[in-house]
Chain A
Amino acid sequence: MAEPIVRYQDVHKSFGDVEVLKGIDLDIFPAEKVAIIGPSGSGKTTIIRMLMTLEEPTSGDIIVDGTNLWKMEKNGRMTEANEKHLRSVRGDIGMVFQHFNLFPHMTILENCMTAPIRVKGEDKQEVEQRSIEMLERVGLGDKIHNYPSQLSGGQKQRVAMARALVMRPKIMLFDEVTSALDPELVGEVLEVIRDIAKNDDMAMVLVTHEMDFALDIADKVLFLDEGVIAEQGSASDVIEHSQNERLQEFLSRFRG
């Protein structure tokens, strides 16, 4: 098997006195689609936020493409990573948020173009063309000059995905990207993710409550419970055939 593109090694995370992640070990392989499910407060968001460098682990290592994300070597010793180190590693990672977090003062197109130009120093014309193509792909080719406030929730979330994709990440993180949407808008967003999952060879990590969707696209499903990975395996193993009682109970809430 190929080398993992992301490896969590005994990762712990506490907020104050409360330990929310109690030793996470996890490998994510290139192009693998991983779904994380679990009850509210079990630490799903925290797991992916640490990979996006939005939250620092309390202990343990996260290795991205062979490089330790949160530690770096300095004078022959491992020390805490500085911003330069974090930036050099997280360039391969993109994230889509529950509440979209589009930049309200920029048009849809500017939302997509700013980072490739300013962060990666890419050619403006090339980025513009790529951004327009990406916005067409998510079905928003006619809205490129609109502002986020003029879009529906589903449209905003599709822009957020285009914005992340234009950066050409190797790993994409999705944190419950449909849970802030009106029910009738969920489908259009899942469609886009399905399209990306089937056609792009990025690794994807999705925190989701959409069990059928997870079953459909995920190569691997993790059941997170009280800060540990209580169950992991193929989607059908975990969602359909697991004997884990907590998992059964959790899943039963999604079946009518």
Chain B
Amino acid sequence: MNPITDIAPQLFRGFGTTVTILIASAIFSYIMAFIAGLCRLSKNTFLRKFTGLYIEIFRGTSLIVQLFWLYYAIPILFDIDLPSNWIIGVIAIGLNYGAYLSEVVRGSILSIAPGQSEAATALNMSSFQRMRFVIFPQAIRMMMPEFGNYTIQMLKGTALVSLIGLRDVFYYGDIMRSTNLAHAPLIYVVVLIFYFILALPLIFLTRKAESIAKKGVAN
């Protein structure tokens, strides 16, 4: 079995699913991260507690269980036909990583020296302006490397969607393995290489983010 002519084309059939799931769940998790991260810093106790609960639940339980739970529970809870499995996958991964990333958002905002906010107050900025012009732009630089790292993890996490019937790279690898058991090690090596190649741009961007973060905020 030739890895390039026999295995790669098969795996490539799942490429689109893996990439679209990754992009959609990354975007969704970033949005969740900012909403939940800012809610955690809100003065409103209910908001703080409520988002705290979301974060602890999604960090404290495993992604695969969350995925299955959503897969089976959403149709029952909302009495709707199953939306596409693709959407279920995106929601599960997005909510899970959004919980982790919201702590990154919160931590970065809190890590900005209080003197920055005080200087902004002395320039008569409102609390919104302090966040918008002073705190947030600095916090973003600090967040980027962690966002990169979690996005790489998210890529690896997308393989789980094969378990709810989505045909991603891992799914096609698994199918091949089940019909060519003797070639399993080779097939999985090619699968690994596939994921690694997908991760490369993310690794590169994360490195770049690290260097920006390092020089961007030093007083």
Contact = CB atoms under 8 A, between A and B. Distances in A.
Interface stretch (B16-24, B132-140, B201-209): B132-140
Nearest to A88: B124
Contacts of A104: 138, 216-219
Interface in A174-227: none
B115 A97 contact: yes
B31 to A, nearest CB: 23
B127 interface: yes
Interface string A70-112: 0000000000000100010011011101011111110000000
A152 B158 CA distance: 49
A101 B119 contact: yes
A90 B124 contact: yes
Question: Contact size class for B?
Answer: 20 to 34
Interface residues of A, number: 29
B118 A101 contact: yes
A103 B119 contact: yes
B123 interface: yes
Nearest to B122: A95
A163 B123 contact: yes
B213 to A, nearest CB: 11
Given A87-B124, A149-B218, A164-B122, A101 B129 contact: no
A118 interface: yes
Contacts of A53: 121
Contacts of B219: 99-102, 104, 148-149
Contact of A101 (B116, B124, B127, B133): B116
A115 interface: yes
Given A118-B133, A149-B219, A103 B116 contact: yes
B118 A54 contact: yes
B125 interface: yes
Contacts of A148: 219
Interface in B97-147: 113, 115-116, 118-127, 129, 133-134, 137-138, 141
A83 B131 CA distance: 15
A138 interface: no
Nearest to B123: A115
A1 interface: no
Chain B interface SS verdict (over half): helix
A119 B123 contact: yes
B133 A94 contact: no
A114 interface: yes
Interface in A117-133: 118-120
Contacts of B133: 103, 114, 118
Contacts of A119: 123-125, 129
A221 to B, nearest CB: 24
A167 interface: yes
A167 B126 contact: no
Contact of B216 (A93, A94, A105): A105
Contacts of A24: none
A54 B119 contact: no
Interface string A132-158: 000000000000000011000000000
B71 to A, nearest CB: 43
B118 A97 contact: yes
A197 to B, nearest CB: 19
A102 B141 contact: no
B129 A94 contact: no
B119 A97 contact: yes
A35 interface: no
A105 B212 CA distance: 11
A28 interface: no
Contact of B119 (A102, A120, A149): A102
Interface of A: 52-54, 83, 87, 90-91, 93-95, 97, 99-105, 114-115, 118-120, 148-149, 160, 163-164, 167
User: 4 tightest CB-CB pairs across the interface, nearest first?
Assistant: A115-B123, A101-B119, A95-B122, A101-B115
Interface of B: 113, 115-116, 118-127, 129, 133-134, 137-138, 141, 215-219
Given A105-B138, A119-B124, A167-B123, 4 more contacts: A83-B126, A87-B126, A103-B119, A115-B123
13 contacts: A54-B118, A90-B121, A93-B122, A94-B123, A99-B219, A103-B134, A105-B216, A115-B124, A118-B125, A119-B129, A149-B218, A149-B219, A164-B123
